[in-house]
Amino acid sequence: MAPHAEEPNGYTNGTTAASAGNKDLFTVESPSVTYTDDEIKSKYVYRTTSVAKNGDKYVATPKETVYDFKVERKVGKVGMMLVGWGGNNGTTVTAGIIANRRGLTWDTREGPRASNYYGSVVMGSTMKLGTEAKTGKEINIPFHDVLPMVHPNDLVIGGWDISGLNLAEAMDRAAVLEPTLKSMVKKEMAEMKPLPSVYYPDFIAANQGERANNVIEGSKASMAHVEHLRKDIRDFKQSHSLDKVIVQWTANTERYADIIPGVNDTADNLLKAIEQGHEEVSPSTVFAIACVLENAPFINGSPQNTFVPGAIEFAEKHGAFIGGDDFKSGQTKMKSALVDFMINAGIKLTSISSYNHLGNNDGMNLSSHKQFRSKEISKSNVVDDMVEANNVLYKEGEHPNHCVVIKYMPAVGDNKRALDEYYAEIFMGGHQTISMFNVCEDSLLASPLIIDLVIIAEMMTRISWKVDDGKDYKGFHSVLSILSYMLKAPLTPPGTPVVNALAKQRGALTNIFRACVGLQPESDMTLEHKLF
């Protein structure tokens, strides 16, 4: 591997042999697809089914819409700024990228381990490209090679934290990584120090107060805070000659903000509320507004309602990208996959009970009821769309009982214990119970999601579209629902359905990227094998 490059002010950047270049692994031979040095252009026929109700029956009508997609091939130099950079997730993802950049191998009691990006959809999974003509063999390619994407090794990393510890000290405090690995990256991590962050004590648990020694002056929202954060983003971008910056909230879970007419219900009211220092404007919402004004995509990785209606409207007005909420890493990802399977198998879930205990700082913060309530909402709503989609098993208004419990147990550290019981009705009045015990190394599951969210958000800044040979290309909607696979409580454009089913989320991500190179979704019908 090529040696990493160090930059001033505690940030790191580097290009390795593994990340250099964006050469195409494949090309599409089709009159609907054209390649230039700068762009990939494709014409894509989107086929859907329109349904109309006629009395107690339905009429289904196939529809076709022709889209033109354009993808900018040049990735440019990308920065990732994390809010809560000194936390468990922030230090883990930073150390992980440094280790991958340098191709590190370290000793553990179970033998040597090598750096990798396991757990990342973009870096660790594949996509079916098609079927080889001669052999009929399926050809799968790395997901990262579907379109020209930034490689995580090339990200320039920075961020904010209410704690002033440098990242080496914060990494030790997090107690996530092996000591041997920590010693290998310690020198670089020690040179990184988070920028001061905004701190409004009412929004996070009181037990976080002793950490708050690196804060911007002022304990309530203000336009001064918005401008301070904007300047931080501009300075970071300029000092590292970046083409764009992606910002992600990986800090503490906040309490829910009350939605109050005249305060945070519209973009204009939200700006007035910030100017007036209203108590229902959260730190994460202030970050979101600053990012929108700097046209830096902002992703919320915690469960609070950062994107109040006024924040969504503000992003829409400025054509800026936002995404959220809450990293979907362990227990909830398993739940969304298992519930999807059971309901699609015709099994009627009647109750789901989920118990967690964990000992990291996230657990300590969630020991406060207001912050726990934010997490409870994001973990509980994950089955709603799957239940509503099956009106054979569930009549209108019917829903499984669903209970979520989280307890703080310091001794287990970052090794979260998740215990779930699924109770269901089966054939002829019978019952099935599935019990699951899941030990999740929390930050090692969340860190690859941080990487995926940044890579995909950046990718979306280079994709534009138009319909039926329209004159002007435009970007996707400000709310990046394509990020849903990585998030517990997916944010969707107002008035559009929320999809929590894991397979549908993965399918949307894969098929949008396929459309950008003029390829239809893989139907998995394999008729080429069945009809001959």
Q: How far apart are CA 249 and CA 411, in angstroms?
A: 26
Supply the pLDDT for residue 378. Answer: 64
Rounded distance between C-alpha atoms, residue 519 and residue 532, angstroms: 24
> What per-residue confidence (pLDDT) applies to 415?
85
Q: What pLDDT is attached to residue 17?
A: 37
Q: Are 516 and 40 in contact (CB under 8 A)?
A: yes
Q: Which of 401, 442, 402 is nearest to 418 (CA)?
A: 442
Joined together, the tokens standing for residue 174 give 């997090």
pLDDT at 296 over 90: yes
Contacts of 160 (CB under 8 A, 6+ apart): 81, 82, 83, 84, 85, 194, 195, 196, 197, 229, 232
| pLDDT higher than threshold 80 for residue 196 | yes
pLDDT of residue 379: 65
326 flagged as catalytic:
yes
Active site residue 469: no
In the sheet that 463-467 helps form, which strands lie side by side, from edge to edge? 33-35, 39-54, 57-72, 463-467
Q: What token pair was written down for 57? A: 């029956």
CB atoms within 10 A of CB 390: 13
Q: Is 488 a catalytic residue?
A: yes
- What six digits make up the tokens of 44? 């894509």
* Residue, of 363 and 13, whose pLDDT is higher: 363
Q: Choose the catalytic residue: 193, 328, 348, 375.
A: 375
Q: Which domains does the chain have, with CATH numbers?
A: 5-18+75-327+444-515 (3.40.50.720), 331-441 (3.30.360.10)
Window from 66-75, 203-212, 343-352 with minimum mean pLDDT: 203-212
For residue 520, CA distances in Å to 27, 32, 42, 88 come to 14, 12, 11, 40
Of the residues 326, 362, 420, 442, which is catalytic? Answer: 326
Q: In the prediction, which pLDDT does 376 show?
A: 67
Mean pLDDT of the chain: 91
For the stretch 365-404, pLDDT in tens is 777 777 767 666 766 678 888 999 999 999 988 999 999 8
pLDDT at 195: 98
CA distance 98 to 14: 9
Instruction: Write down the pLDDT at residue 2.
Output: 35
Segment 163-173 shows an average pLDDT of: 97
- Please report the DSSP string for 38-51 in residue order: SEEEEEEEEEEEEE
Tens of pLDDT, residues 19-30 = 434 468 999 999
**Mean pLDDT in residue range 479-490:** 94
Q: Among 136, 82, 130, which residue's Cα sits nearest to residue 251?
A: 82
| DSSP state letters, 231-291 | HHHHHHHHHTT-SEEEEEE-SPPPPPPP--TTTTSSHHHHHHHHHTT-TT--HHHHHHHHH
Indicate if 416 belongs to the active site.
yes
Task: Read off the pLDDT of residues 216-230 as tens digits, 9 standing for 90 and up.
Answer: 999 999 999 999 999
Above 50 in pLDDT, residue 193? yes
pLDDT at position 528: 77
In this model, does residue 38 exceed pLDDT 80?
yes
Q: Given this model, what pLDDT does residue 380 score? A: 67
Q: Name the catalytic one among 161, 193, 416, 452.
A: 416
